[in-house]
Structure 1
């Protein structure tokens, strides 16, 4: 199940993240390990995560995903080693919120792509998933994921 897709303007958002590559079957372990590292880094700064966990997908090659795992922040904070201080850029996006197990998200992506086409827009090819809740506290049928597809600026 997913909310109605909408096109809207997002503001720039500071974040701490780690960029890497992985096969889709390795994502749960990689995301867990990266979250632990990010939280440890934040604690070392005397901070706690102040925003959502996200994964940015720069391609959709399920055996070699180019991705970025991070937390959004209320203010920029310094990175360390491969933990980078980044800014998720402002811009026009297509977005919806999906509820349910991660492996059944495809219809939400299909609806977003249809919304983009209906509005005469074009996606950049990057996809952000913001995990609003998740394991182990939440059962899979109640997982909430905000999907955000940045759009190209018209020429």
Structure 2
């Protein structure tokens, strides 16, 4: 389901994001409008995404998901509407690649969590997904590729 997990060091990256707190079942309703809003602000400010769309989760999901959705950017974004400047912090992560539909991400994270715990790593509750496939360009959800990043410290 996931590739062999690897420990990696990720550098800090400037980002343009929208902060969301939503119930898990409502995520699809909020994701696309937020993505489009970030892309529109970047275009208006003459900035470009520098990498794939990501969602950075500040805590383990409970009743709601609390996360930032956005893109790493090639400059400083000015706050506009819900779009704010932020960063993907420099961190040591366990990284793995999941291939399959977004509905399978919960199982993929469970598999990664079991590996992290088996290795004796401490849980921070922070993690992010980088969406390497664009559903408009990859019509079959079975081919979607998502990078999973479990923050260690």
Q: Same fold (TM over 0.5)?
A: yes
Number of aligned residues: 151
Q: CA deviation at 1:106?
A: 3.2
Gaps of 5+ in 1: none
Counterparts of 1:10-89 in structure 2 under 5 Å? Answer: 10-57=10-57, 58-61=59-62, 63-89=63-89
Indicate the SS of the match to 1:148. Answer: strand
Aligned twin of 2:93: 93
Q: CA deviation at 1:102?
A: 1.1
TM-score, structure 1 as length reference: 0.88
Aligned twin of 1:149: 150
Q: CA deviation at 1:116?
A: 1.9
For 2:5 and 2:76, the matched residues in 1 are separated by 29
Runs of 4+ in 1 over 4 A off after TM superposition: none
| Farther off after superposition, 69-78 or 133-142 | 69-78
Aligned twin of 1:2: 2
Q: CA deviation at 1:87?
A: 1.2
C-alpha RMSD of the superposition: 1.7
For 1:35 and 1:76, the matched residues in 2 are separated by 18
Q: CA deviation at 1:78?
A: 2.5
